[in-house]
């Protein structure tokens, strides 16, 4: 199954609880995420391909971003593939003072992200399914595509010729990344953006560098986070309708109870059809 929802919704926590509950029930379940996979520095063909596409999405997202000193962020990128995943480089991206970004670069990032999701699904997730495991993808790749879309729309004028291109790239991603009806249960994890923000700050002291409009050269902070996440939530609801997602809500204060109830709801939806068939 693939979990969809805003940053801070509780997807990873829920995925962990799902893995635990399925394992207790005797199901061979595994929780996976593309980011976690990349951090393991895979060296084979599948790993290098997924890494290259992830790197392409990052390079096109940030590489053409203009800084306050008149340079572009891409001039500070490491030249070698793989180094872009280093913690120090991530800190650079999160702290860079971006004042503008290039719509063409953001469209390219959307396409690279979509391609990376396809590669991860086919090369990494599918073999696990074929081995008989139930795979829980804690963040479905469509989430990042949606955020890139909103970043791109925020840097274009209403009459810009780029706007239809962003719409087309999003529509293509929704169709290409649509879960297989007979093998996948997509789940929309709902959480009030204000509650998600509070949890993010409590957990990390701040929100992440891709959780607001900072990469587009706009203001950062709570209001920026709230706007991006609220707009993302609206698009996720539309995607959930198209994909016929199961919906769960993690907004309530009693986190342990809510997580257990959401996991039970998801597993109950799987049971009549057989958990071994689904990601």
59-68 burial, b for 16+ CB within 10 Å, e for fewer? bbbbbbbbbe
What domains, with CATH codes, occur in the chain?
2-277 (3.40.50.300)
Q: Residue 275 has what pLDDT?
A: 46
> What integer pLDDT is reported at residue 43 of this predicted model?
76
Tokens representing residue 273 in the block: 């059809």
Helix %, strand %, coil % for the chain, to 5?
A: 60, 10, 30
- Across 18-155, the runs of DSSP E, i.e. the strands, are 29-32, 66-67, 98-100, 134-137
- The pLDDT assigned to 274 comes to 47
Q: Digits of tens for pLDDT over the chain (279 positions)?
A: 899 999 999 999 999 999 999 999 999 999 999 888 888 877 788 888 988 899 999 999 999 999 999 999 999 888 765 566 677 788 888 888 899 999 999 999 999 999 999 999 999 999 999 999 999 999 999 999 999 999 999 999 999 999 999 999 999 999 999 998 777 899 999 999 999 999 899 888 888 888 999 999 998 889 999 999 999 999 999 999 999 999 999 988 777 888 889 999 999 888 555 444 444
Beta strands across the sheet bearing 186-190: 29-32, 134-137, 2-4, 186-190, 246-249
Burial of 223 (0-12, 13-18, 19+ CB in 10 A): exposed
The model's pTM is 0.91
Q: Could you tell me if 15 and 3 are in contact, meaning their C-beta atoms sit under 8 angstroms apart? A: yes
Torsion of CA 88, 90, 96, 100, to 10 degrees: 150
The pLDDT value recorded for residue 278 is 40
pLDDT of residue 37: 87
């Amino acid at each position: 199954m693939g979990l969809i929802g805003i940053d801070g919704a509780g997807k990873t926590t829920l995925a962990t609880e799902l893995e635990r509950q399925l394992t207790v029930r005797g199901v061979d379940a595994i929780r996976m995420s593309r980011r976690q996979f990349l951090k393991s520095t895979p060296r084979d063909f599948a790993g290098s391909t997924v890494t290259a596409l992830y790197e392409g999405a990052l390079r096109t997202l940030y590489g053409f971003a203009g800084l306050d000193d008149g340079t572009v962020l891409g001039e500070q990128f490491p030249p070698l593939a793989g180094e872009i995943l280093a913690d120090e480089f991530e800190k650079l991206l999160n702290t860079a003072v971006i004042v503008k970004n290039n719509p063409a670069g953001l469209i390219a990032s959307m396409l690279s992200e979509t391609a990376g999701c396809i590669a991860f699904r086919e090369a990494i997730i599918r073999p696990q399914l074929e081995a008989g495991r139930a795979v829980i993808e804690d963040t479905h790749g469509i989430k990042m595509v949606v955020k890139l879309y909103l970043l791109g729309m925020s840097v274009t004028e209403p009459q810009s010729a780029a706007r239809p291109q962003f719409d087309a790239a999003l529509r293509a991603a929704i169709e290409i990344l649509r879960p297989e009806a007979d093998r996948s249960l997509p789940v929309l994890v709902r959480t009030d953006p204000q509650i998600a923000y509070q949890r993010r700050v409590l957990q990390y002291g701040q929100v992440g560098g891709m959780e607001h409009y900072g990469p587009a050269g706009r203001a950062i902070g709570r209001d920026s986070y709230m706007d991006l996440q609220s707009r993302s939530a609206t698009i996720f609801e539309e995607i959930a309708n198209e994909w016929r997602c199961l919906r769960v809500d993690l907004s309530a204060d009693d986190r342990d109870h809510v997580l257990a109830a959401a996991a039970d709801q998801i597993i109950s939806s799987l049971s009549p059809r057989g958990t071994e068939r689904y990601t």
